[in-house]
Chain A
Amino acid sequence: MKKGLKIACISLASLVGLVLIVVGVLVWVVFTPSRLTPIVRGVADKMIKCEHAIGEVELTFFSTFPQFGLAVDSVWLVNAMEGASCDTLLRADCLRAEVNLRKLWQDKSIELNDLLLEGVEVCLYTDSVGRSNFDVFVTDSVPEEADTAAFSLPFKGVSLEQIALRKAKISYVDEQNDVEAELVDGEVALNVKWQDDVVKGSVNLNVPSVTAAMGGLTYVDDVALVCDVPFEAHLDSVRLELQKASLAVNQFGVSVDGRVSMPANGDIETDVQAEFSQWDIQEVLRLVPDSFAYLLNDVQVDSGIVSVSAAVKGTLNDSVYPVVSAHVQLENGGFAYSALPTPLCDVNVDVAAYVNLNDSLDSYADVHQLHARLNNTAVEVSGRVERLLADVEGDVEMHADVRLSDVLSFLPEDLPVKLAGKCSGDMKAHFVLEELLEGMYDGLRVEADLTTKELVADYENWHVASPQGKVRLQLPNVEAEKKCGFARVGVELSEMQLCDGDSVDVEGEDMAMVVSLSNPLEGDWLHAGCELTSTSLSAQYGTINGDLRGANVSGTLSLNKKDSTEVPQVQAQISLASMSGGMDSMQVSLEGPSVSGTMRPSLKNSKEPVISLAYSGGALSFAMGESVRVVTDSLSLSAQTRHRSGEENMLLEWNPRVNVHLKEGLVKLAGFKEDISIPTIQFDYSNRDFAIQDSRIRLGNSDFQLKGDIKDIHKFVSGQGLLTGELDFVSHTTDVNQLMDLVSGLGSTAEDLGDSTVTEVSTSEESMPFIVPKGVDLILHTSIERALVGEQVATNLGGNLYVKDGVLILEEMGFICDAARLQLTAMYKSPRPNHLYVGLDYHMTDIQIEELIKMIPQVDSVLPMLSSFRGKGEFHLAAETNLTRNYDVKWSTLRGAASIEGKDLVLLDGETFTQISKLMLFKKKTENKIDSISAEATVFRNEVDIFPFMVSMDKYKVALGGRHNLDMTFNYHLSLLSPLRIGVDVSGNFDDLKIRPTKCKYAEDFRPVERKSVESQTMSFRELIRQSLVSTLKKED
């Protein structure tokens, strides 16, 4: 055994020694550098046309054991070219190659185990016309025929285990395409095993510094590039497979798996997956070259870790693209964007996307999570976005917790707004992005439920606060009718306060409001509906305050958006359990008021509104301090107006039609001792007919009723005709004494009433008098069954009152009382405020003269001697005068005539007559009674002319007459006609009486001339009235 072993060892040693000897001979004797180097240089001279230099070529075995190798100590290629940075195309300090001779001998395959270049420096350059400095290899001048044969290796296989570049510096400049790239200290290793159309290998690249630019822009600047790409290429099927290939730029690595094949039809089949994880976005962005940094000027990334896994699978050709799916995750992102006032933080994104370029409807993104926080406001979104390449359609859910103070940062700094409180809630939305961008919101579906807490908002002096509230938003509004089906906004507030400094203060409880809307951006019309309920709502504005209980308000609005001049359609109902309010000292309260109203455009002209309003309510109470208090049991009112532009008069412009029905009203006035009771007021008003069905008022002992119609109001206000009307004023009882007592002192100053502490006047000196309206033809039939005047009871008081085109006429207003039978016809005109006209035609028959003076004291001024008589008589007065605006008589315009007749009158012991009787030596037994007296007087300005009349008493007949002035001076003449003829002039005034005997002016057979001055005046006056009435009739025609 040992021997055998020994023999074997010796044989092996001999064999090794032989091999070594052979190798040594080959290396050091046969293939010496001096023999190999010229061979290689000769080959190079034939293949390379540029200047080149190849150092010493050496065959190696031991350094490349067990393979033989070739080592070249230096290689130079020099191809100077204008524009190139250097002349040297290639410089390698060392080139070494290992060849597996056994494989070559046995399998006729080349196994190049190692091809190594060290200290490589490559300078590649292409000028602007496309000439390159690396075009240095000799080519045949004869054109090659088209190679139609299939490609085949001359060997069974080629195995290139490793091609490596060490310490390589490669620069590439292509001026034609404006590309520059540079690799420094690169380590490149390429392992290839090629056998039977299958190439397996790997590419390893480790470059500490890579710089690349194109088009003047630097895309990569001094970045480290590391690649480890194992691959398997099937040349027969043209398929490349990658397995766990990794590519890293600086520290950012991407792993790629998959395969790419190119079948015979020319398509490219792909199935590639790539994945990277935990990239720090901040670091990634540092790779962005300066030339692109401006793109990120508005964005500042504070933090963020991003991970992506993506896959590309499918066929790629001219018309078909592979589908791409990707899963992107971002954790702890932090961004600042110039458009956002505050940085976003806690940004977490988890999105999976699927992109199919072949079917625009088959791309989507699943947002598993999108969370971001802005200060104390957080938003979280999830959902799916489909059809990414077409009409992007999304279904998303969002939860938001908003601190309203964060919203402030989005508002202009100079806006005086303060916000506080929280708003949180969930929202679901379905949208089509393109529709949103085009302003089409009909396809938008949103459901949002938000809650607010401790909401406080301030804008200048305005302050809004609500401790808790809910907001619900629905798009579309499935609960409303179609035209308001776009959106529904519901707001519920447990409490609400709204104020504007001290001027406005509104507080509400349990308020609920629902607003329904049509799409405001679509269609020609905007439709809206609103419902509001509140258990309690109180408001105060300055001195105005209101308190509503059980408010229930609903309404709709339709607005033509394209024609802002068209009248909107509005419909509203308001019902309240109760309402109370006030302004200053006024207070009003309503029980169960209900108001409904509509506004719509006119059918004839859509720009003109037609408004309807109806009010009904129970008890109403109104008070103005302690001075006025009004109470009604019920009040109903309905009104409709039809607006007509171009009319100057408000009535013609609005054409109101009003129906009012008030029942059981009671008015209490502080200055009135009696309450004013209003059993009913009911009327219908329109511009054509103001019909008062009934209006009754009770005041103390008096009652009044007014009925009738006033017509042609529209003609009157437009100046096209007369206002006509006929009213009946009926009173069963009118207590004039009580009425005068009630109104006594009204409108007077306290000073007038004796209170010197108050100096304010109630009427100014320039106060307007009553101006009789022109264009009016009204008749008021009065009928007072019983009137209490003084101690008299007037019965059957009646007559007509005309208002006729600027003239007010009392026609034969007569009544009967115990003292007299009276009849008054009067006329009042007001051509201008300071020039009024009054005409009177006044008759009193069967009147006691002393009662006459009591009733009309002014009569004593006109006929002062009447105070000396007692008995029954008749009094007639016709007069006219103008008045100032304060109803003072313009004495220069006073004209009049009066007459008085009396029979069996008793002469009183007047002072004047006593003196006269002494002078005339009357018998004392003579009864102071005269048979009759008939006196007439005219009034001109302040002059009263008493026409001579005769008084018979006892044996005396006296004729007297003269002038009496309204300043109570007089100048009378008395002629004693029987039994003596003697005359007396009486002049002066009652304080300074001058009596002088004089010649009798009147003849002995004096008979008074019946001048009929009053009748003349009366007839003249009647003529004036008739002319006034007739003139308007003519005008009306």
Chain B
Amino acid sequence: MKRRICYLLCVFCLGVLLNSCGMLGGPAEFDEGLLVGTWVVDGHESDHWRFDAGGKGASWDTADDVTESEAQAFTWSLVGNTLTITHRIGMTGADAIPKAYKMMSLTEVSMSYKDESTKKVTYMTKIR
């Protein structure tokens, strides 16, 4: 038991030291241009997300018989590895529901981000 506690303390101290010295580096930078496009959620391909250039976008789920023209708008920003999506109400443009995610990976065809509050990682594939 003591040994386990010692290991934990060592790891804790190492983490604190590394973090304080910036050894782990700052947050990763992602090219937001790669985000522009239409994505579907892996495992739930009817769930579409369209990230437009300029920080606007819309989401719709064809499984709920919603078409792209009926999609609901949001605004987005990608700063560092933080992806912020603010959903709007009634397509009127009023910001209402902010959501923040940690971008895990972003390529030309795929991305993944993590909801810090639930630790849930979402994987997406770009379809166009």
Inter-chain contact B117/A963, CB cutoff 8 Å? yes
A835, A890, A892, A1017: residue with the most chain B Cβ atoms closer than 10 Å: A892
B67 closest partner in A (C-beta): A835
Please, which residues of chain A bring their CB within 8 A of the CB of B97?
895, 897, 938-940, 945, 1013
User: For the complex, what is the distance from the CA of A938 to the CA of B98, rounded to whole Å?
Assistant: 9
Inter-chain contact A884/B65, CB cutoff 8 Å? yes
Inter-chain contact B72/A895, CB cutoff 8 Å? yes
Interface of A is mostly: strand
Inter-chain contact A891/B64, CB cutoff 8 Å? yes
Q: Which of A831, A945, A971, A1024 touches B92 (beta carbons < 8 Å)?
A: A1024
Please, which residues of chain A bring their CB within 8 A of the CB of B99?
940, 945
B46 closest partner in A (C-beta): A892
**CB contact under 8 A between A1021 and B47, given known A834-B65, A890-B64:** no
A1019 within 8 A of B: yes
User: For the complex, what is the distance from the CA of A878 to the CA of B63, rounded to whole Å?
Assistant: 25
User: For the complex, what is the distance from the CA of A895 to the CA of B73, rounded to whole Å?
Assistant: 11
A962 within 8 A of B: yes
B64 closest partner in A (C-beta): A890
B99 closest partner in A (C-beta): A940
Q: Which of B59, B60, B72, B94 touches A1016 (beta carbons < 8 Å)?
A: B94
Nearest CB of chain B from residue A529's CB, rounded to whole Å: 64
A359 within 8 A of B: no
Please, which residues of chain A bring their CB within 8 A of the CB of B16?
none
Please, which residues of chain B bring their CB within 8 A of the CB of A447?
none
User: For the complex, what is the distance from the CA of A834 to the CA of B92, rounded to whole Å?
Assistant: 22
B47, B70, B96: residue with the most chain A Cβ atoms closer than 10 Å: B96
**CB contact under 8 A between A880 and B90, given known A892-B66, A897-B96:** yes
A85 within 8 A of B: no
A1013 closest partner in B (C-beta): B96
Nearest CB of chain B from residue A771's CB, rounded to whole Å: 16
B95 within 8 A of A: yes
A358 within 8 A of B: no
Nearest CB of chain A from residue B19's CB, rounded to whole Å: 13
CB within 8 Å of B: which A984-1023 residues: 1013, 1016-1017, 1019-1021, 1023
User: For the complex, what is the distance from the CA of A43 to the CA of B82, rounded to whole Å?
Assistant: 170
Inter-chain contact A892/B64, CB cutoff 8 Å? yes
A230 within 8 A of B: no
Residues of B in contact (CB 8 Å), total 25
B20 within 8 A of A: no
Inter-chain contact A1020/B66, CB cutoff 8 Å? no
Inter-chain contact B96/A1016, CB cutoff 8 Å? yes
Inter-chain contact A892/B63, CB cutoff 8 Å? yes
Inter-chain contact B96/A895, CB cutoff 8 Å? yes
B89 within 8 A of A: yes
Interface string of B55-76 (1 = CB under 8 A from A): 0000111011110001010000
User: For the complex, what is the distance from the CA of A191 to the CA of B64, rounded to whole Å?
Assistant: 133
Nearest CB of chain A from residue B49's CB, rounded to whole Å: 11
A895, A945, A962: residue with the most chain B Cβ atoms closer than 10 Å: A895
Q: Which of A835, A839, A938 touches B96 (beta carbons < 8 Å)?
A: A938
A649 within 8 A of B: no
B87 within 8 A of A: yes
Please, which residues of chain A bring their CB within 8 A of the CB of B88?
1020
User: For the complex, what is the distance from the CA of A889 to the CA of B16, rounded to whole Å?
Assistant: 48
Inter-chain contact B117/A1019, CB cutoff 8 Å? no
Please, which residues of chain A bring their CB within 8 A of the CB of B92?
1020, 1023-1024, 1027
Please, which residues of chain A bring their CB within 8 A of the CB of B63?
892
User: For the complex, what is the distance from the CA of A1019 to the CA of B89, rounded to whole Å?
Assistant: 10
User: For the complex, what is the distance from the CA of A892 to the CA of B119, rounded to whole Å?
Assistant: 21
Inter-chain contact B118/A971, CB cutoff 8 Å? yes
Inter-chain contact B90/A962, CB cutoff 8 Å? no
Inter-chain contact A1020/B96, CB cutoff 8 Å? yes
Interface string of A694-711 (1 = CB under 8 A from B): 000000000000000000
Sample of 5 A–B contacts (CB below 8 Å): A834-B65, A892-B59, A893-B72, A1017-B94, A1024-B90
Not counting A892-B64, A938-B98, A1024-B89, a sample of 5 additional A-B residue pairs whose C-beta atoms are within 8 angstroms of each other reads: A893-B64, A895-B97, A940-B87, A1023-B90, A1023-B92
User: Nearest 6 A-B pairs (CB), nearest first?
Assistant: A1020-B94, A892-B61, A890-B64, A1020-B89, A1024-B90, A938-B97
* A positions within 8 Å CB-CB of B: 831, 834-835, 839, 878, 880, 882, 884, 890-893, 895, 897, 938-940, 945, 962-963, 971, 973, 1013, 1016-1017, 1019-1021, 1023-1024, 1027
